[in-house]
């Protein structure tokens, strides 16, 4: 097999490598951009709704994960053509579409306008940015030039910063300790872009297998992210499930299963509940003969934000290397583009 630098030169024609490397810089840039934004809809809200699809919605998932123990407000990530009926003028609605032309998200935006809801729009341009400007909605113009799934640093940061600007979040480690977080992420992502690293080692083990991703609710957004990245970057199918829910249904699925060549990837959080750790260990033993098992652990993190983002960055690199091992350019999403053209 060619070395990793040769594979990148041969197959990474659209610089997904640089995009993955840019996660910490995206966070830094976001903090500068937000200083130039103004928010007119500053009031007391009763809930938060993030409308988006694909890579434009994932930032909402990570915010929900980070803030579930900090906020008294609920965060709902809304994927689809319509907003729930309970969304009203007391809801903070964030419309997130990297291109600004995602038809499902445009539909949600138009429903907000019809219901006299003043949303915050996060986009690079397109229909949504133009509409936000015409309707005097608050908006954030995102730097262009990335695949939506490669703009996690922007989508996550802009939502978190919006909540800060609207006084929904006061003090949190993601914003207050950004400089330390960014430096930690820079060191981490650089270490994963080398000829020999843990992400590449894992990719070599799983790229030609059916991958089943398991974790607890402390890393549920990372597990979902991993599955989506394996689909879009690596062009391979996988599944993910969360503990303890896995023990109430999917554990039974292996009795009559006929899938060969399974790779179980366990994403471990050091602060998992003791009972979840126990469940995970027992499940590993029960499934020991069903496939190969691989543990992913992130050590020496500053805090939970740092740990989760490092884990997300790690699985991004794994998906990138899986694509290269399949001799595939990770950037194009030809089936998605074809589907959109047929709608």
**340 labelled catalytic:** yes
- Paired sense of beta strands 91-96 and 47-51, if any: parallel
Helix and strand totals (H; E) in the chain: 14, 9
CA distances to 75, 180, 181, 287, 310 from 303, rounded to whole Å, are: 22, 10, 9, 32, 11
User: Does 242 score more than 80 pLDDT?
Assistant: yes
**248 labelled catalytic:** yes
Question: 87 pLDDT band (50/70/90 cuts)?
Answer: very high
Q: Considering the candidates 35, 36, 248, 338, report the single residue annotated as catalytic.
A: 248
Q: Considering the candidates 2, 13, 292, 340, report the single residue annotated as catalytic.
A: 340
pLDDT tens-digit map of 19-49: 999 999 999 999 999 999 988 766 789 999 9
HEC secondary structure over 80-139:
CCCCCCCCCCCEEEEEECCCCCCHHHHHHHHHHHHCCCCCEEEECCHHHHHHHHHCCCEE
CA distances to 75, 106, 192, 328 from 111, rounded to whole Å, are: 19, 9, 43, 39
pLDDT tens-digit map of 93-149: 999 999 999 999 999 999 999 999 999 999 999 999 999 999 999 999 999 999 999
pLDDT tens-digit map of 244-284: 999 999 999 998 877 779 999 999 999 999 999 999 999 99
Omega of the bond prior to 232 within 30 degrees of 0, cis? Answer: no
**76 labelled catalytic:** no
What strand order describes the sheet that includes 91-96?
74-78, 47-51, 91-96, 120-123, 138-141
pLDDT of residue 47: 97
Q: Considering the candidates 232, 240, 269, 310, report the single residue annotated as catalytic.
A: 232
In percent, the amount of the chain with pLDDT more than 90 equals 80
What's the average model confidence in pLDDT over 298-302?
A: 88
263 three-state secondary structure: strand
H or E segment and range at residue 191: helix 178-191
């Amino acid at each position: 097999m060619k070395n990793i630098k040769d594979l990148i030169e041969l197959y990474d024609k659209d610089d997904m490598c640089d995009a993955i490397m840019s996660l910490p810089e995206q966070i830094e840039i976001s903090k500068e951009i937000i200083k130039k934004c103004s928010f007119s809809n500053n009031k007391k809200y009763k809930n938060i709704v993030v409308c988006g699809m694909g890579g434009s919605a994932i930032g909402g998932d990570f915010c929900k994960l980070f803030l579930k123990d900090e906020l008294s407000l609920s965060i709902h990530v809304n994927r689809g053509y319509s907003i729930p009926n309970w969304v009203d003028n007391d809801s903070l609605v964030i419309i997130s579409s990297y291109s600004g032309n995602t038809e499902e998200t445009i539909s949600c935006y138009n429903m907000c306008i019809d219901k006299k809801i003043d949303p915050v729009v996060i986009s690079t341009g397109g229909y949504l940015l133009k509409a936000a400007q015409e309707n005097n909605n608050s908006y954030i113009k995102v730097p262009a030039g990335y695949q939506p799934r490669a703009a996690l640093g922007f989508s996550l940061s802009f939502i978190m910063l919006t909540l800060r600007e609207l006084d929904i979040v006061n003090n949190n480690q993601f914003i207050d300790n950004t400089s330390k977080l960014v430096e930690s992420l820079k060191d981490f992502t650089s270490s994963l872009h080398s000829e020999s690293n843990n992400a590449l080692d894992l990719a070599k083990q799983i790229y030609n297998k059916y991958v089943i991703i398991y974790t607890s609710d402390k890393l549920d957004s990372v597990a979902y992210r991993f599955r989506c990245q394996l689909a879009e970057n690596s062009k391979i199918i996988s599944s993910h499930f969360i503990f303890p829910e896995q023990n109430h249904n999917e554990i039974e699925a292996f009795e009559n299963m006929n899938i060969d060549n399974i790779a179980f990837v366990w994403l471990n959080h050091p602060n998992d509940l003791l009972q979840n750790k126990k469940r995970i260990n027992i499940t590993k033993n029960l499934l020991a003969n069903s496939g190969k098992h691989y543990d992913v652990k992130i050590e020496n993190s500053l805090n939970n934000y740092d740990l989760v983002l490092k884990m997300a960055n790690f699985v991004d690199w794994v998906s990138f290397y899986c694509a290269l091992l399949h001799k595939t350019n990770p950037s194009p999403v030809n089936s998605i583009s074809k589907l959109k053209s047929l709608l």
